[in-house]
Amino acid sequence: MSSKKILLIAPTGQVGWELHRCVQPLGQVLAVGRNKAQAFIDLTDPDSIRSVIREIKPDIILNAAAYTKVDQAEKESELAYIINGTAPSILAEESLRLKSLLVHYSTDYVFDGNNDKPYTETDPVNPMGVYGASKLAGEKAIIAIGGKYLILRTAWVYGLRGSNFLLTMQRLAKERKELKVVADQIGSPTWSRIIATATAHILAQLNSSLYPINIEQLSGIYNLTCNGQTNWYEFAKSIIAQYNNQPNILPIPTADYPAPAKRPMYSVLSNEKITKTFGIELPDWDKCLKLCLASSN
């Protein structure tokens, strides 16, 4: 495994940053991003994507980049589709040419939220907004091009870096005496580090002499979230529980917090397939939250 060349796109994102640490033992890691991490790549520029991949010739491409501004995507639809739809198709084409493995991340927002039990990978998709639709376009492009790929669908991502619900609640808890938080959207908060460690666990199996996996046969979509479910209000309460001077947190319905993009009301994903296929047991979201809050970075 140590000879594998791993190209990590977007080491500055929540997931990318954790991946950068987690996959180091698995090979030679080259991180590329918009801020000239090691080499420059801009997913809005097909030439930059192709030239980086053709120069590096990676065995594994980890695409942690995405257009993730759910509400802004309603206004910047073209940009969202270029980064989330077109760029992954170029990555898949280049990956196919090199016979490399493309690992790509997708979202629970490909669903409309009308299920009453956890979504499986084969449940019908029906995104409610531009972000979800653009991510779905990326999934479809990768699948159509074929080759070796893993599309890992995750949800409600948070961590101690970047822009996410946990950091927003921590900031607001210091600024305000009262917070109103949506209580009728249900999902599974997922620590970015869990996504990265699960990814590394899968990659480590590629060259395992004891339990080798055939990635060509296993290419496909896999859900990857923390286990269990909650709503944003309960999640906020669990985050704030650590503070001595806690603000009053009030549950509100989605209708009282209008946003440009519609969200799925229920987007719990079933982790059964990834657990059965790769032997990954995902921890419960509340356990992960405690671990994250106790971690230093």
Active site residues: 131
For the bound state, the minimum distance from the C-beta of residue 190 to ligand NAP, rounded and expressed in Å, comes to 8
Whose tokens are 């296929």? That residue is 277
Helical H segments across the chain, by residue range: 14-22, 46-56, 77-81, 87-98, 130-145, 165-175, 192-204, 215-218, 232-240, 272-278, 285-294
Q: How many CB atoms are closer than 10 A to CB 294?
A: 8
Which residue has the closest beta carbon to ligand NAP?
13
Pick from 197, 186, 187: nearest CA to 278: 197
C-alpha span between 101 and 106 (Å, rounded):
16
C-alpha span between 160 and 170 (Å, rounded):
10
Tell me the C-alpha to C-alpha distance, in Å, between residue 25 and each of 52, 200, 241: 22, 9, 36
Give the footprint of ligand NAP on this chain (CB under 6 A): 10, 12-16, 33-35, 41-44, 64-68, 83, 105, 107-108, 135, 154-157, 162
For the bound state, the minimum distance from the C-beta of residue 27 to ligand NAP, rounded and expressed in Å, comes to 21
For the bound state, the minimum distance from the C-beta of residue 234 to ligand NAP, rounded and expressed in Å, comes to 17
For the bound state, the minimum distance from the C-beta of residue 125 to ligand NAP, rounded and expressed in Å, comes to 14
Q: What residues contact residue 246 under an 8 Å CB cut-off, 6+ apart? A: 173, 240
Q: Which CB atom, from 15 or from 249, has the smaller least distance to ligand NAP? A: 15
Tell me the C-alpha to C-alpha distance, in Å, between residue 251 and each of 92, 234, 238, 255: 43, 9, 13, 12
Q: Which CB atom, from 36 or from 177, has the smaller least distance to ligand NAP? A: 36
Q: Which CB atom, from 26 or from 41, has the smaller least distance to ligand NAP? A: 41
Q: Which CB atom, from 90 or from 98, has the smaller least distance to ligand NAP? A: 90
For the bound state, the minimum distance from the C-beta of residue 63 to ligand NAP, rounded and expressed in Å, comes to 7
Q: Which CB atom, from 108 or from 234, has the smaller least distance to ligand NAP? A: 108
